[in-house]
Structure 1
Amino acid sequence: MSVLSVRDLSKAFGGVHAAREVTFDVAKGEFLALIGPNGAGKSTTFNMINGQLKPDSGDILLEGASIAGAAPRTIWRRGVGRTFQIAATFGSMTVVENVQMALISHHRETYSLWRAAGEHHRARALELLGYVGMQDAADRACRELAYGDVKRVELAIALANDPKLLLMDEPTAGMAPRERNDLIALVKRLVLDRGISVLFTEHSMDVVFAFADRIIVLARGRLIAEGNAKTIREHPKVQEVYFGTGKTFEKVTS
């Protein structure tokens, strides 16, 4: 059984069809890239899967059970983690406190009055920070960190609910080439070590072609191609929608 099954997913805004009968699966432990030119429907599809948008039609199955139209909080509690294009952390809080807050929410202790928040799950928070290489910065304020390190903290937060599926929206946006390759290599190791499935959107083709197990391509709301890096590079429809000339993808190096 697939971890995630998207079936005939559609969404329109007025007369604009942002997603049209999009269908794909994400297997257990798969690192799947969702790409497409601007306006292709990537964000709309992503936000329907995560619950920010309700689909007009179609279904979204997490391990066989429908989550279509469920609230983001419900979907998170079902085991779906999420990172955002613009990293979302509390700058005035320390690195470890940011992760502790996610753990408190995961364990439904938000309204617990028995202990101060800083006493909850610190050991587990430090363990998660260790996974992403940020344990040494645990007691620094997030606002003091470089942007690449904030992205790592956000990843630790996304792992707080022990996700079966991790959704990553433009995880390397705003990062230098070496930083983005290091971050995606880290995520790939987590996929292999912990069996987490990952669906990510990304504009950096060097990252996509180097790390994705499989790639799906959207254009004007429709899925037009899927396959490995070689298949996508050589696909005539993909070349057309990205370049309009039939020009092939060129490998990008850092």
Structure 2
Amino acid sequence: MSALTVTGLGKSFGGVDAVAGISFELRSGELLALIGPNGAGKSTTFNMINGQLKADAGSIRLDGVELVGRKPREIWRLGVSRTFQIAETFSSLTVVENVQMSLLSQQRRLFAMWHPAADERRDEALALLDRVGMKAQADRPCSVLAYGDVKRVELAIAMANAPKLLLMDEPTAGMAPGERNALMALTKQLVVERGMAVLFTEHSMDVVFAYADRMIVLARGRLIAEGRPLEIRDHPKVQEVYFGTGKTFEKTSS
């Protein structure tokens, strides 16, 4: 069953098509990699799915519910979480407090400042941190963590929403090879355990080919290929625009 259905999605800036009528589906329990050269439209696509940008055309449906036109906080509460290329945490808070903040936000209790929050949903937060291997550091401030550990905390924050769909923007950026593989292996386990859908962008092709169930490829805002990793590796258009032939993609009429 498709968790995410994108149909005819388009976005232009100053007459330039950043995303030009792309369509794809993402099933529950699947990791789908969104790849392409710089300027392909990957970030624009991500930003439309989670509501940071409004689509000019097309539809984005999560379990049949239309997301286009909704604010990011509404989309979050419908079950869409996101991690960022540069990890987003509150460095002045402890590890467990970061996850508690996410849990309280999902409950719409974040701004009830008159109510003591130190123990609110702490056990749930600790359980999430345990799942990502960070429970032992729960009471340390995020500001002192190694970058790979911050990425794990960010994943726990995202999981606090019990997402149907997790968007991961360059999840392994800035990480050493061992850390990259550990994070993506953990993500794969969470997908299997929770049956959630994951859409991720990634420049490290070793990560993409090792962990993606399927891949879609953009070039100049257009979807040029989709399929399983081995199909994409051998796709002539993908080799032309992405894997180093030096040629450029020429638009075809849609």
Q: Is the 8 A contact 1:84 1:169 kept in 2?
A: yes
Q: Is the 8 A contact 1:239 1:246 kept in 2?
A: no
Match of 1:202 in 2: 202
Match of 2:119 in 1: 119
Question: How far is 1:115 from its partner?
Answer: 3.0
Q: Is the 8 A contact 1:48 1:69 kept in 2?
A: no
SS, match of residue 44 in structure 1: helix
1:46-85 pair list within 5 angstroms: 46-85=46-85
Match of 1:226 in 2: 226
Match of 1:129 in 2: 129
The range that moved more, 103-112 or 42-51, is 103-112
Match of 1:14 in 2: 14
Unaligned runs of at least 5 residues, structure 2: 248-254
Match of 1:250 in 2: none
Question: How far is 1:109 from its partner?
Answer: 1.0
Residues 224 and 126 of structure 1, relative CA distance in 2, 3 Å threshold:
same
C-alpha separation between the residues in 1 aligned to 2:197 and 2:243?
30
Question: How far is 1:112 from its partner?
Answer: 2.4
C-alpha separation between the residues in 1 aligned to 2:243 and 2:170?
21
Q: Is the 8 A contact 1:53 1:69 kept in 2?
A: no
List per-residue Cα deviations over 1:89-113 (Å, max 9, x = no partner).
0111100000000011111112325
User: Within the alignment, does 1:172 sit opposite 2:134 as a pair?
Assistant: no
Match of 1:106 in 2: 106
Instruction: Please tell me the root mean square deviation across aligned C-alpha atoms, in Å.
Output: 1.2
> What code does the residue aligned with 1:99 have?
V
Q: Is the 8 A contact 1:7 1:21 kept in 2?
A: yes
> What code does the residue aligned with 2:165 have?
L
Question: How far is 1:203 from its partner?
Answer: 0.5
Question: How far is 1:118 from its partner?
Answer: 1.0
Q: Is the 8 A contact 1:8 1:23 kept in 2?
A: yes
C-alpha separation between the residues in 1 aligned to 2:142 and 2:96?
9
User: Within the alignment, does 1:33 sit opposite 2:33 as a pair?
Assistant: yes
List per-residue Cα deviations over 1:196-252 (Å, max 9, x = no partner).
1100000000000000000000000000001111101100000000145289xxxxx
> What code does the residue aligned with 2:193 have?
D
Unaligned runs of at least 5 residues, structure 1: 248-254
C-alpha separation between the residues in 1 aligned to 2:102 and 2:246?
46
C-alpha separation between the residues in 2 aligned to 1:70 and 1:209?
33
Question: How far is 1:13 from its partner?
Answer: 0.2
Residues 97 and 235 of structure 1, relative CA distance in 2, 3 Å threshold:
same
C-alpha separation between the residues in 2 aligned to 1:210 and 1:153?
23
Match of 2:250 in 1: none
C-alpha separation between the residues in 2 aligned to 1:170 and 1:215?
15
Question: How far is 1:117 from its partner?
Answer: 1.6
C-alpha separation between the residues in 2 aligned to 1:133 and 1:79?
23
What percent of counterpart residues are identical?
A: 68
Q: Which runs of 4+ in 1 moved over 2 A?
A: 111-115, 243-247
Match of 2:242 in 1: 242
SS, match of residue 119 in structure 1: coil
C-alpha separation between the residues in 1 aligned to 2:61 and 2:242?
30
List per-residue Cα deviations over 1:173-197 (Å, max 9, x = no partner).
0111111011000000000111111
1:124-163 pair list within 5 angstroms: 124-163=124-163
Match of 1:45 in 2: 45
Question: How far is 1:156 from its partner?
Answer: 0.3
Question: How far is 1:83 from its partner?
Answer: 0.4
> What code does the residue aligned with 2:70 have?
A
Aligned residues: 247
SS, match of residue 198 in structure 1: strand
List per-residue Cα deviations over 1:4-60 (Å, max 9, x = no partner).
000000000002110000100000111100000000000000100010000000000
SS, match of residue 74 in structure 1: helix
SS, match of residue 34 in structure 1: strand
C-alpha separation between the residues in 2 aligned to 1:65 and 1:90?
31
